[in-house]
Structure 1
């Protein structure tokens, strides 16, 4: 049983707290830079600002519960010498065949990750998302609620796949893209930007 400190006392933090408890581990408390928060969040203590992590790095693991990939990156670079917790909901379906999941990643309820897939560090695989076989998901990617990635898809760092978006098989999406909610990707995306529609096109 592990003790876990959640960075980010927000809606995403609520979901991560639930995952930790359902996985049989302990929510030790939250760190957050919002000084207007109460002393507790969901009944768990607010232990201080993010800078306070040094006081707890020998007694707990840490998970960053913040949706914005840039902020997750900044915090992950800031908190040095800590053990990062990988939060996996017990209802997630993860193949036992050649799957790797990077540290600090959060995998939510009913997500599916099939054989041969590689999930990077500090990713979010959100509720009900499907990552089919042989996908490569680089660091800090967010695959949103109900998104579907077919087989052999590559997603570059910091890209956000929106709610209900679909990516066809054997495609590559470059880093720092937003695939908006409901978009359908049917060809490689090689230019950074926001993509929407069916088929997905860049929003100029």
Structure 2
């Protein structure tokens, strides 16, 4: 039996628990730093400790794989890298209805949910996560730790750098150049030009706003 633990007992974690069970993966528990959840059952699955408790031998002996479907790009990458150092496997998860084209190159611990499409000749780094019904065009280069929400449309021939966060329903035009490292694209935005690193853009057409 492939026993697994999910980091994060929030809504994303609950969704992935259901999808993993559908694929025959036995989720034995969540770990979560919210102390109010300790000892509780979330959708029938126990919260067995904090994230740091993954290092405990009694937990390591029970599970082989770690999944971390949380939206915070930096934390997701950090937790998965630490889990791998502890000796856990950090597999990818591709929903059975996702369409990943030929010649797509993908790193490790990538998560692609239902109805999403990745066109050929796209390169994706590690710790990538996309929700439902998102489309990524051909010849796109995507870095590490990128998150795309549901209904995102990414055009072709562009670069999305590490830790970019793209909100629900955003559209990124073909060939615009680069979506910079650590940038945030607001929900419903239409991006028609390069986005600088560590900036927030919103609207149609997307414009930069102060980052809080």
TM-score, normalisation: structure 1:
0.92
Aligned to 2:119: 114
Gap change, CA 1:192 and 1:35, over 3 Å in 2: closer
User: Which one of the candidate residues 196, 203, 211 is aligned to 1:197?
Assistant: 203
Quote the offset at 1:89 in angstroms.
Answer: 1.1
> Which is further off, 34-43 or 107-116?
34-43
Aligned match of 2:14: 14
TM-score (norm 2): 0.89
Contact conserved, 2:170 with 2:185, CA < 8 A, in 1? yes
SS of residue in 1 equivalent to 2:35: coil
Taking the aligned partners of 1:17 and 1:144, their CA distance within structure 2 comes to 18
Kept in 1: contact 2:182–2:197 (CA 8 A): no
Mapping of residues 1-204 of structure 1, within 5 Å: 2-37=2-37, 38-54=39-55, 55=57, 56-57=59-60, 59-79=63-83, 80=85, 81-95=87-101, 97-170=102-175, 171-204=177-210
Is residue 160–residue 177 contact of structure 1 (8 Å, CA) maintained in 2?
A: yes
Would you say the 8 A contact 1:19–1:88 is kept in 2? Answer: no
The answer to whether the 8 A contact 1:150-1:168 is kept is yes
Cα displacement (A) at 1:48: 1.3
Distance in structure 1 (CA, Å) of the matches to 2:196 and 2:33: 36
Q: Cα–Cα, structure 1 residues 94 and 22, in superposed 2: closer, same or farther, change >3 Å?
A: farther
What root-mean-square deviation, in Å, do the aligned CA atoms of Structure 1 and Structure 2 show?
1.6
Distance 1:118 1:8, change over 3 A: same
| Structure-1 separation of matches of 2:158 and 2:167 | 15
Runs of 4+ in structure 1 off by over 4 angstroms are none
Q: What SS does the corresponding residue of 1:36 show, helix, strand or coil?
A: helix
CA separation of 1:22 and 1:100: change in aligned 2, threshold 3 A: farther
